[in-house]
Amino acid sequence: MIEEENKLIKRRIEKLEEIKALGIDPYYNGFSPEYFLNDILNKYKDIDSEKLKSINTNFKIAGRIISIRDFGKAAFLKLKDVSGTLQVYCQKNVLGEQYALYKKLDVGDIIGIEGNVFKTKTQEVTINATKLHLLTKSIRPLPEKFHGLQDKELRYRQRYVDLIVNDDVRETFFKRSKIIALIREFMINNKFLEVETPMLHKLVGGAAAKPFVTHLNALDIDMYLRIAPELYLKRLVVGGLERVFEINRNFRNEGMDLKHNPEFTMMEFYCAYKEYNFLLDFTEELFDYLLNNLDLGKKITYGGLEIDFSRPFKRIKFIDALKEIGELTDDIISDKDQCLKLALQLEKKVDENTSHAKILAELFDALVEPKLINPTFVTHYPVEISPLAKKNKQDPLFTDRFELFIANMEIANGFSELNDPFDQKERFIKQLEERNKGDEEASMYDEDYIVALEYGLAPTAGEGIGIDRLVMLLTNNTSIRDVILFPLMK
RNA sequence: GGGUCGUUAGCUCAGGCGGUAGAGCAGUAGCCUUUUAAGCUAUUGGCCGCAGGUUCGACUCCUGCACGACCCA
């Protein structure tokens, strides 16, 4: 990479050599800062500049140089570290011999500074450098100081550069970290146990999706990257870990767009002795917890939409949503041929072999989902497309299941878990039939999971929440790539 | 998968009835010890995404490809 013919890089490598010639190690690692830059700023921003002169304010700090304003015999440098930025003043008559080192520095270099705090004419807290340490010479020029890095492709591919120059990106990922920490806190407060289950699966299950295939050399077998942790988490409930959750990656071999990345983060949790109604309230509580702790209030703006999280969220049955929001009639909904015709008109990938329920789900995606802005629980999904959910007592064609939609995105999916091993066996067989008909997203038959159910799964409610999409909502990013540090790029 | 648009200096962007390209920042040389996108003077820097075609001549027009963004599915 370095051999590239770039004059700016060449010049920086020359400076590197000149620094070595001065007897200085350009990658010296014996210096450790005592404070974050923001700590110094906060400590002194409200202290009078006269008073500053009378107190001892000698500090060791470090950071990357993000700007230099040079006056010949003095200069202002702006340093940046993980906490923020702080200005440093370098004067020739103070630094003496070390001023020669200063003259070899560039924007992008990482330096350590020892010096005293003072305030400039404009009252900016600044460190007057008495000692300068070069910690890392940077030989690649950073993007322009004013516009930063705009090229989306470069930003995703070279996220490290994006993070150096674009503060809003840093904020998004700080916030992502905080959101996940809050979720974890909320779950643990509610007596859930955090667990980790396998990423490498021998069978595909727990969701409707095409898997990634990989190979295990030791056993010479193909394996699948998991599409969901569901079946393992429920095995743990069988094992008596009555409340479990996992925040981790799932992999689905599907298209990529603003809402889909092939690997994405989900939280799944299972709670014994509860049913799906509990999950609706629990999910609302989780949102409350997040919004409160992030100081977002009840209404947020997302991509130009106003979203109202006031409780209770709207609740509507799947079929009612098709009627009231999708504007379909009972006659159409109950007639598979008419549904198929309509789905084909909407250019959905369906054919005669597609089940009635799956066609309805496609119609829902096309006609209802685009209209769901405020948080909405859609409940009672058809049993054929809910192979792991318990049937509804009143109407066994439907299940005790819901999905939560916000801003036209599916955010969560939960249900009363099917714990009848005989029923589960039949559903698996139905899935196999769908698979044989060509549905590559249908699940496989998981014999051991049936055995686990035969030992007895307590009545359990379970839910998955898409963390990336949740972060999108709470950080006002309309592309999933903007909430994933290293999104998949071709 | 389909459509639209984009790809020009390290970065951010202009430009062109077809005649080998410009600015700001960055860099370099100089002046400047309280700047805030510091200022002033001078100046270096380009396979105009890749490949082919049309043409006396292509960075510009045409075709294909790659990568990306957005829209649709």
Any strand B atom closer than 7 Å to A303 CB: no
Tell me, what's the pLDDT at A254? Answer: 83
With cut-offs at 50, 70 and 90, classify the pLDDT of residue A38.
Answer: very high
* Token pair 């516009």 in the structure block, residue: A147
pLDDT per position as a tens digit, A135-153? 999 999 999 888 889 999 9
Any strand B atom closer than 7 Å to A488 CB: no
CA of A153 to C1' of B60 (A): 26
Highest mean pLDDT among A50-59, A76-85, A437-446: A76-85
User: A170 pLDDT exceeds 80?
Assistant: yes
Q: Using CA atoms, how far apart are residues A314 and A275, in angstroms rounded to an integer? A: 19
For residue A68, give every residue at least 6 positions away whose Cβ sits within 8 Å of its Cβ, in sequence order, or none.
A75, A76, A77, A78, A105, A106, A107
Q: Residue A72: which nucleotide is closest by CA–C1'?
A: B32
pLDDT per position as a tens digit, A108-122? 999 999 999 999 999
Span A477-488, mean pLDDT?
Answer: 93
CA of A224 to C1' of B5 (A): 38
Tell me, what's the pLDDT at A4? Answer: 53
User: A387 pLDDT exceeds 80?
Assistant: yes
Span A104-110, mean pLDDT?
Answer: 96
Is residue A465 helix, strand or coil? strand
Q: Is residue A141 within 8 Å of residue A12, measured between CB atoms?
A: yes
Q: What is the mean pLDDT of chain A?
A: 93
**Chain B nucleotides covered by protein, CB below 7 Å:** 1, 10-13, 24-28, 31-39, 44-45, 66-73
Q: Which two tokens stand for residue A206?
A: 């727990």
Highest mean pLDDT among A139-148, A181-190, A433-442: A181-190
Residue A82 C-alpha from the chain's centroid: 20
Tell me, what's the pLDDT at A5? Answer: 63
With cut-offs at 50, 70 and 90, classify the pLDDT of residue A399.
Answer: very high
CA of A158 to C1' of B54 (A): 40
Strands of the A200-201 sheet, one edge to the other: A200-201, A221-225, A213-216
Q: Is residue A290 within 8 Å of residue A183, measured between CB atoms?
A: yes
CA of A131 to C1' of B43 (A): 34
With cut-offs at 50, 70 and 90, classify the pLDDT of residue A353.
Answer: confident
User: A3 pLDDT exceeds 70?
Assistant: no
Residue numbers in A 126-145, CB below 7 Å of strand B: 126, 141, 143-145
pLDDT per position as a tens digit, A270-297? 999 999 999 999 999 999 999 999 999 9
With cut-offs at 50, 70 and 90, classify the pLDDT of residue A1.
Answer: very low
Q: Is residue A229 within 8 Å of residue A243, measured between CB atoms?
A: no
User: A337 pLDDT exceeds 70?
Assistant: yes
Any strand B atom closer than 7 Å to A147 CB: yes
Q: Of A82-86, A194-198, A307-311, A434-438, which gets the smallest average pLDDT?
A: A434-438
What is the complex's ipTM, to 2 decimals? 0.91
Q: Of A202-216, A283-297, A342-356, A450-464, which gets the smallest average pLDDT?
A: A342-356
Q: Using CA atoms, how far apart are residues A285 and A193, in angstroms rounded to an integer? A: 18
Q: Is residue A372 within 8 Å of residue A406, measured between CB atoms?
A: yes
Q: Residue A150: which nucleotide is closest by CA–C1'?
A: B12
With cut-offs at 50, 70 and 90, classify the pLDDT of residue A350.
Answer: confident
User: A454 pLDDT exceeds 70?
Assistant: yes
Beta strands in A252-391 (DSSP E): 263-272, 299-302, 305-308, 314-317, 376-379
